[in-house]
A and B are shown apart, each in its own frame.
Chain A
Amino acid sequence: MAEIVFAAGVPHAPATVGLFEKAPDEARAVVAETFGAVGRALRAARPDVLIVFANDHLTNSRITAYPDFIIGMAERHAGPHEWFKEWIGCRDWALPGDPEVGRSLFRGLTRRGIRMNLEAGPLKFDDNLSVPTVLTDLDQAGIRVVPVLQNCTVPPFPDGARCLEVGRAVAAVIREDLPPGLRVGLLGSGGLSHEPGGARYYKIDEEFDRLFLERASQPDHAALLRDITIPRMEEAGIGGTAEVLSWFIVLGAIGERRGESFGYTGWPSFRCGIGGVVWEVG
């Protein structure tokens, strides 16, 4: 039986990299504290493989044939994709993949009633994996990574209850299908409030963000589902805020656990609320 040894949720706003030096001290401190703490917890947990759930941002598929989930089973993942390089302004990175875990996840989730898609070739990555990778130095950690790109932005997309259900199925695959002794980390990448490309591009909903961080940090999924609904996410920013659904999958996998967060900033030019959580597991 494999075990979950690490679980966290982080945002991936590109401006946390590209505009970091221009941000006020308190905003920079939250970015540094959050991603620093996540990176330290990740290394301390010593996972063999990290499964990352993250919004695809319409980077890999046309809108007319848009999958809810794509598992990347390549031997190696690299980014950012060419067009996103100057936009994010981060270094090029590469991560070792884990084709066998990717295949097991695909097979196991399909057998448990979750429709997945599998991509054997290279996926295109934007800020979804690039930002957490460079801000936690994941590419220096020697941890194999299986990305699961998620539809959080092309309606209709899986809601909170469904994402918790997907997470519970992920936990079953880890527990029942992956090799005994394998140490697995889980990362949800996305959110907090933002409206990319919308009329409220510069609006950040601090009230939503602080409530979400509080609910995500408490072992009470009923309260999470009651308060963090799709309509409330859309009120906080259409087309972006629902990326917090990637955290729901991690929460479904680990069950009701307490989490620790590391401050919050709503500096408008990040165009996204910033805060993260590391959950107690094991």
Chain B
Amino acid sequence: MAWDRYDPSLAAHDLVQDLKWDPALRAQFKQNEASVLDRYPHMRPEERQAIERRDFRALYDLGMHPYLGGQLSRFIWGNDAGRGAIEASNRLVASLQGHAGGIPDKP
């Protein structure tokens, strides 16, 4: 990807920042994701759908900043250095590249 599709006005960016800064919201996101997404009335339907479907390719095509997209993947799949973050990055890359796995050189 390049920056030509980047759209800083996406509500998903605010979602990621709020999750990063608010542990209670993170816990709520794990328990009831829809209730957290409901807090962003300016989130476009296709943006919300991409999050719900874990379709990072679609989300990036809408204009998600990749750094915040990476963080969103860690809220969903795991954030710890040794395991969860690796799982998150593998799944993120698989979504972006349009396949189910096969990421080389996993530790």
A interface list, Cβ under 8 A from B:
14-15, 17-19, 22-23, 57-59, 62-64, 82-83, 86-89, 124, 153-155, 195-199, 201-202, 234, 238-240, 267-269, 271
Contacts and interface: CB of A to CB of B under 8 A. Distances in A.
Binding site of B, secondary structure by majority: helix, strand, loop or mixed? helix
Contacts, number: 104
A269 B81 contact: no
Contacts of A15: 81
A239 B24 CA distance: 29
25 contacts: A18-B82, A58-B65, A58-B67, A62-B17, A63-B13, A64-B9, A83-B20, A83-B23, A86-B81, A86-B84, A87-B80, A154-B65, A155-B6, A196-B67, A197-B70, A197-B71, A197-B92, A201-B89, A202-B104, A202-B105, A238-B2, A238-B66, A240-B67, A268-B105, A269-B86
Interface string B1-35: 11100101100011001001101001000000000
Contact of B8 (A18, A57, A64, A239): A64
Given A198-B1, A238-B3, A89 B81 contact: yes
Given A19-B107, A197-B73, A197-B92, A58 B79 contact: no
B68 interface: yes
Interface of B: 1-3, 6, 8-9, 13-14, 17, 20-21, 23, 26, 65-71, 73-74, 79-82, 84-86, 89, 92-93, 96-97, 103-107
B81 A196 contact: no
A87 B65 CA distance: 20
B20 A197 contact: no
Contact of B80 (A86, A154, A198, A239): A86
B65 A63 contact: yes
Nearest to A153: B67
